[in-house]
Structure 1
């Protein structure tokens, strides 16, 4: 099973202010613009293992960091820019999002995430497993602030899923386990039809929507099927330091590989010899909410992640390091951005020395609520 990675990073100037970074896409073919100017996407090719993926990510990041620094800019590995920014969209599709989402476009403009693409094998099992791994957001959460306020350990996930308005939450929030792949695809089509209706209500005609969006484009949920690639895309994690993301990718990939030979069943969570067991959705929803709000401070979340094979003691999310007041000012914001930019550069350079082998811990008993 191959996998690939996409990570979004904020671009700041030497003072820590957000700035336009679109010209940096010229430095490497795997650097792409996002729909607002201060946000870039750094991606990899598909690879058969995380070690090869990490080498390419490191090489690409070195190139773009050098290009940014040559022009007095840096990249910031945070799930949100900490305080609100409202630069206009810079792509046709982005402008349509502004028209269709209206004031609710604030959350996608202020969120940066990581997307991991897995080659399709047993798609139903893959969807179930990636859905069940949503609480792993606690392992790499990188910002507790959204639009200047301390909101959650993983402020990006909270904002992206809940601050988009009631009408759009169905596109952005965690979806339940589907009965089968056909049922998933039916929901995607139904949501797209409703998206067209919403757009029409906002003055965007149906033909324009269909020219710029296909049904899967409107799914911004943590799990998405991509037909053209073709992959199962996991969109749950924050933007974060590459070493942390590679560590997480390795743990998830290890579990995804097991879905080729083991069924994914409901019950007491754990990785067993003959199956991977995940919680029922109601319990998972509660775990995900707790992971978003409390992160690794939650004993319940840590017990669940340990049961699924993740050694929570090996993770050190950035979000927990951004201590500060409930409301953060712009001067402190700029200082934290620059601090995290320096962490990113150091992390990229240290990847050569870091081991990417993190064996699973023995299964422990999971304490259900």
Structure 2
């Protein structure tokens, strides 16, 4: 993303709010248009045509059956929605011309990771050498949301205080109930597989930029990583942009779900930035609870019950609390309607719930293979809604 670095304005020592410009990255599976099975390797003619059609807002991913789209930075959520929908439709049109289609989901229901080929790129060669079979299993698609803070130096502080919300963002996005042609029993299996990688999951309790820099420096000096872009936490400060990047969510099948989650994250980021007291006392107990809640989100999606020091809280209750707490921030950013959609996601379920419903409807009168085919057909159609 191409963000302009801004300086933080100060008024009487208090933080003032900026526009909180944001951008979205989505990963999709590239599939055969007829069978909806993932391709083994990237079609170069397709990729070049898609790159030209999207003005370069598409990039290859670590494994060739996947692609990523990268939105422009936006101040207005309606513009972000329009661009994201246009990117999906444009790439789909180009893909169809090459006998291909795209699927937006955290996992592909029937994909076999053993057959996926790695993309030829020096960085990816290095990653695969380090990860070995774990890298080969990384056939997973996520939603990444970048938010630019008025003062980029506050990203570690906001990241630290954002941790309790990570399970909520994940629960609202869950779209990965299948893996290797099997029901996993989880609504969000993607992170169960992704967290096999090093430097993933919930970050440790870094409170300052200096602490984070010391961690990165130690790893770089040891030759473990080349730079901080090899840190793949569920949330991280971007190396290339002055943004705080949310990485926990599954790739959302519905554009409206992706926009709702992006809007909620942006709203919470603003709220935390202008209220530096919020979540300023997280400790080891709090982080352990966050890790457990992340698991609950993976297992149950929007039907999860989260632990809290004061007692249990359902996802629906947490959504209501967050919307109430951040109402002024949502209004300031012009995204009240979008974060209110999170209520609808809780009420109707996520892509994972829809996929499982399609599977159950078809397994009654057919084979598992037929039911899974129906699921992939649903994902393909819903990706373009």
Query: TM-score, normalising length from structure 2?
Result: 0.74
Aligned 1:30-109 pairs, distance under 5 A: 30-83=57-110, 84-86=112-114, 87-92=116-121, 93-108=123-138
| Deviates most, 257-266 or 134-143 | 257-266
Equivalence for 2:177: 144
Match of 2:262 among 242, 249, 269: 249
Say if 2:207 is the partner of 1:179.
yes
CA shift digits 1:144-195 (9 cap, x unpaired): 122333332111112111x33xxx2xx112112312121122223334455x
Say if 2:343 is the partner of 1:313.
yes
CA shift digits 1:94-125 (9 cap, x unpaired): 222222111111332x1100111111333234
What is the rounded CA distance, in whole Å, between the counterparts of 1:301 and 1:94 in structure 2? 40
What is the rounded CA distance, in whole Å, between the counterparts of 1:103 and 1:130 in structure 2? 32
Say if 1:78 and 1:142, in contact at 8 Å, map to a contact too: yes
3-state SS of 1:97 partner = helix
Say if 1:267 and 1:280, in contact at 8 Å, map to a contact too: no
Say if 1:129 and 1:256, in contact at 8 Å, map to a contact too: no
3-state SS of 1:143 partner = coil
Aligned 1:120-135 pairs, distance under 5 A: 120=149, 121=151, 122-135=154-167
What is the rounded CA distance, in whole Å, between the counterparts of 1:314 and 1:304 in structure 2? 14
Q: Compute the displacement of 1:134 (Å).
A: 0.9
Say if 2:368 is the partner of 1:338.
no
Say if 1:44 and 1:56, in contact at 8 Å, map to a contact too: yes
**C-alpha RMSD of matched pairs (Å):** 2.6
What is the rounded CA distance, in whole Å, between the counterparts of 2:175 and 2:135 in structure 1? 21
Say if 1:156 and 1:238, in contact at 8 Å, map to a contact too: yes
Say if 2:155 and 2:243, in contact at 8 Å, map to a contact too: no
Say if 1:118 and 1:232, in contact at 8 Å, map to a contact too: yes
Say if 1:98 and 1:105, in contact at 8 Å, map to a contact too: yes
What is the rounded CA distance, in whole Å, between the counterparts of 1:10 and 1:214 in structure 2? 28
Q: Compute the displacement of 1:234 (Å).
A: 1.0
Question: Structure 1: which 5+ runs fail to align?
Answer: 198-212, 270-278, 348-369
Say if 1:116 and 1:234, in contact at 8 Å, map to a contact too: yes
Say if 2:300 is the partner of 1:287.
no
CA shift digits 1:313-348 (9 cap, x unpaired): 31131011222489x965544432222011111x2x
Equivalence for 2:25: 6
Query: TM-score, normalising length from structure 1?
Result: 0.77
Aligned residues: 313
Equivalence for 1:362: none
